[in-house]
Amino acid sequence: MVNIKGSTVVVTGGQRGLGKAIVDELLRRGAAKVYATARSPKPSEDPRVVSVALDVTKPDSVAALAVTASDADIVINNAGIIGASSLLSSDIEEVRAVFETNYFGALRIAKAFAPILADHGGGALVDIASILSWVAGFGGYGDSKAALWSATNSLRIELEKQGTLVTGVHLSFTETEMASGFDVPKNDPRQVARQIADGIERGDVEVLADDDTRYMKSALSGPVEALRVG
């Protein structure tokens, strides 16, 4: 269990979409301070929100964030990009760019903040993955989320000795700018944010935010051909 009330939290990509919903939910639950990052941050009217510039693909930018947010108790890896929808037709550099943000960016954050969380008694590291961690056919983006799922599971083992809760979050399409191009039913980001906060406070190692995601996780024990949409 990790207390949100009175805590200091870092939320990467915390100024729009799911990230903003997470920030709002943390504040509702009494977080004392939330560092909300963006590549081009905008100031917040809430004095508890600290807007910070961050590019997770740049080691110097991540290092600067760790200095600024050296009081963090909880870190939420939410920053991500979509792209490289086809492994064969997408340029390899586009695939690489998706991995630089969605996988290596999250790993940079984890490495930078692990000692900070240790100094504060363990805290929590939360990785926002996806139903597409387990679903085939979504190119480099799906691959990057599968890699993040694996990294989250490995980080959980490595950070266990310092008492850090490592939580992987998986969700289907959610009503955000990133998912605007998909004409499918979508989650309410506020509801997803509530489930993430509940998971942190309960000490859950995994949050499955909707029925589709829960079904797809269960399908991992079946034929590999079933791991697709449609």
Q: 56 in a domain, yes or no?
A: yes
Asked if residue 3 belongs to a domain, the reply is no
Look up the domain containing 93 and give its range.
8-226
Domain count, the chain: 1
Whether residue 2 lies inside any domain: the answer is: no
pLDDT confidence tier of residue 175, bands split at 50, 70 and 90: confident
Q: Give the rounded percent of residues in the chain with a pLDDT score beyond 70.
A: 94
| Residue 165 belongs to a domain | yes
Q: Could you tell me the CATH number of the domain that includes residue 108?
A: 3.40.50.720
CA distance linking residue 38 with residue 16, whole number of Å: 9
In a domain, 211, yes or no: yes
Mark 60-79 as b/e (b = at least 16 C-beta within 10 Å): ebbeebbebbeebbbbbbbb
Largest separation between any pair of C-alpha atoms in the chain: 51
pTM: 0.94
Per-residue pLDDT for 184 more than 70? Answer: no
Q: How confident is the model at residue 225 (pLDDT cuts 50, 70, 90)?
A: confident
Residue 1 within a domain: no
